[in-house]
Amino acid sequence: MTTAATVHEAADNSEGSSPYALSHLDALESEAVHIFREVAGEFERPVILFSGGKDSIVMLHLALKAFAPAPVPFTLLHVDTGHNFPEVIEYRDRTVAEHGLRLHVASVQEYIDAGKLRERPDGTRNPLQTVPLTEAIQQHRFDAVFGGGRRDEEKARAKERVFSLRDEFSQWDPRRQRPELWQLYNGRHAPGEHVRVFPLSNWTELDVWQYIDREKIELPDIYFAHEREVFKRSGMWLTAGEWGGPKDSESVETRLIRYRTVGDMSCTGAVDSDATTLDAVIAEIAASRLTERGATRADDKMSEAAMEDRKREGYF
């Protein structure tokens, strides 16, 4: 350099020369395990939100590692929209049984049947999950609720803390968040309040997939390319089903597709893909010019602040 700007040249700039370097996946894993153990140490009734989607599957895997060889000291909760992919529900139930876990299910369908929620004209049930989720948290008096949300998913999520305090209505107030300093998570809350906890906050979609690959974690088949009857709505391939698609104007065709996310069938789009292996999926995601949610989520496109608004109401 031409100026005296560098005070000390680093002794050694080459990576990997230190025997103590952690890979990025090891660093993320260690951080997530630390978060799980903090919650186990500080809360009375934690629960893991488990949908059978890849993020919640990775969460469960991390929790299993965090407490091994003891069992996971948490129960699971699934907010069931009633419009699930059968493969995912099958995976969910098999996983719960395999690890001897306890699963609570909050059912959107039951709320609709009881007249407590009304079906939306567009058939999308994702926004309807908030009430059953909130009521399940109150009913079971859960004080910490793990979610698989990642900050890379969406710009409102980029603003959320690892420990996110929610009031008795589960509401998120982005202007009243506690600063989060060092690795000192403050989980104190008043009775009725709870904390949403996001152990995968610092993971990206690619990190999740590389971790799944490294740990050889099994996933529901719909994450890999398969032939399926789909139809196009708002630029996305949706699976035909009893939830209300296709309409008369929409035509069904068989395509080779896979899912990047799983969620409510009415708003979770498939992507054209021939990726049948983890390696192929990882290569495909690395080359994609679309974010995970941009490619597959109809509900995020409702408005510029759709996610923020739903989070304020109590959504994840």
Residue 184 DSSP SS3: strand
Smallest distance from another protein to CB 41, Å: 5
Smallest distance from another protein to CB 250, Å: 23
Smallest distance from another protein to CB 237, Å: 16
Q: Does 29 bind another protein (CB under 8 A)?
A: yes
Q: Which H helix or E strand runs over 227?
A: strand 226-233
Contact track, another protein, 139-158, x by CB under 8 A: ------------xx-xxxxx
Q: Does 216 bind another protein (CB under 8 A)?
A: no
Q: Identify residues 68-87 at the interface with another protein (CB under 8 A).
A: 68-71
- CA dihedral angle for residue 195, residue 199, residue 203, residue 205, rounded to 10 degrees: -80
| Number of neighbouring beta carbons within 10 Å of residue 270 | 23
Q: By the 8 A CB rule, do 198 and 278 touch?
A: no
Residue of 20, 121, 251, 254 that binds another protein (CB under 8 A): 20
Q: Does 251 bind another protein (CB under 8 A)?
A: no
Q: Does 67 bind another protein (CB under 8 A)?
A: yes
Q: Does 218 bind another protein (CB under 8 A)?
A: no
Q: Does 24 bind another protein (CB under 8 A)?
A: yes
Contact track, another protein, 260-289, x by CB under 8 A: ----------------------xx--xxxx
- How is residue 181 annotated by DSSP? B
Choice between 118 and 176, CB closer to another protein: 176
Q: Which H helix or E strand runs over 52?
A: none
Residue of 104, 140, 178, 228 that binds another protein (CB under 8 A): 178
Q: What is the layout of strands, in order, in the sheet containing 163-166?
A: 103-107, 75-80, 46-49, 144-146, 194-197, 163-166
d(CA 262, CA 260): 7
